[in-house]
Amino acid sequence: METLGDDLVLLSVNPSSGRIMTKQKIDYGLMGAELVQLAAVGRVDIEAGRVVVRNAAATGDPRLDATVASLTGSSRPPKAERWVGHPRRKILDSYLERLVAAGCLRREGTVITRWRIDDAGRAADAKARLDAIAMSADPIDLAQTAFGGLAYAIGLVNVLYPGWGNRKIRKRFREIADGQWTKPPSSDVPDAPDSGPAASAGAEAASHHAAHAATHAASQAATHAATHAATHAATHAAVHAATHAAVHAAVHASVDAGHSAAAGGGHGGH
């Protein structure tokens, strides 16, 4: 869970062009990743679709602390979908800078920025874990559910597994994002050695419920927000194109009409 956001960013870097292949959607995935991380450690829970903060103490991670602050800043717990759909400003930049500092990425260019992967092993490990989710036909744990669901939500699955031959893989990821294929609580976390079975099972179930709810909410919210953004962009582009065409046609018609009037007036004068 700790590397969830970093993995999404690393796998989004195009090795050839150095561009972020999921740039239009990845902010939503990163918000979702942070929500899942906080739920997995018991900091937040999802109740009736809203994100409830259970523990607002500092986490030691500036990004997660900013996430908790944004969740506690309103008088009423925010809806998960709405919160994920309004990404923190420059959230992607913060992850890119973190990966550069860790030696995983390198920045190139001044006018146009390109990203190069310096830690090929780290990127290969992330891809192998996503491949394991893709190729398996078995239920998966919560960490895999979050990874697969958010990878689908930001469009990364379509980029990494394109074409007709990978349609079953894309379908599996879609089902994962919809909340299918997740193992029951007892399969995810072993009993803690210093607690009784009942206490351990109760804590495990609570943690599983929160993380599963957050994963599902984050995946759905990221998918919805990304789809809405894409639809809005397409609509805006279509309206702009139609308006431009109408204006151009009107101007052209006006010029033609002016020329016709001038020609007619000249003939009448003779």
Q: For 3-22, what is each residue's pLDDT tens digit? A: 999 999 999 999 999 999 99
**pLDDT for the residue 189:** 44
CA distance 185 to 163: 35
Question: Residue 156: which domain range?
Answer: 4-269
Q: Which residue has better confidence, 261 or 176?
A: 176
Tell me the CATH number at 28.
1.10.3630
Residue whose C-alpha is closest to residue 178's, from 231, 221, 134: 221
CA distance 217 to 237: 30
What does pTM read for this prediction?
0.77
Tell me the sheet residues that pair with 114. Answer: 108
List Cβ neighbours of 1 (8 Å cut-off, separation of 6 or more).
Answer: 36, 37, 40, 142, 143, 146, 211
**pLDDT for the residue 3:** 94
The identity of residue 107, as a single letter, is R
CA distance 4 to 30: 8
Q: What is the pLDDT of residues 148-203, one digit of tens each?
A: 989 998 999 999 999 999 999 999 999 988 888 888 765 444 444 444 555 555 55
pLDDT at 111 over 50: yes
Q: Which residue has better confidence, 139 or 220?
A: 139
Q: What is the dihedral of CA 179, 184, 187, 193, to 10 degrees?
A: 120
What are 173's two structure tokens?
């990821």
CB 41 within 8 A of CB 4: no
Rg (CA), the chain: 25
CA distance 225 to 243: 26
The total domain count for the chain is: 1
List Cβ neighbours of 39 (8 Å cut-off, separation of 6 or more).
Answer: 45, 46, 210, 211, 213, 214, 215
Inter-CA distances, 185 with 130, 180, 196, 197, Å? 21, 14, 16, 13
Q: What is the pLDDT of residues 10-65, one digit of tens each?
A: 999 999 999 999 998 899 889 989 988 888 888 888 888 888 998 999 988 888 99
Mean pLDDT of the chain: 81
pLDDT, average across residues 253-257: 60
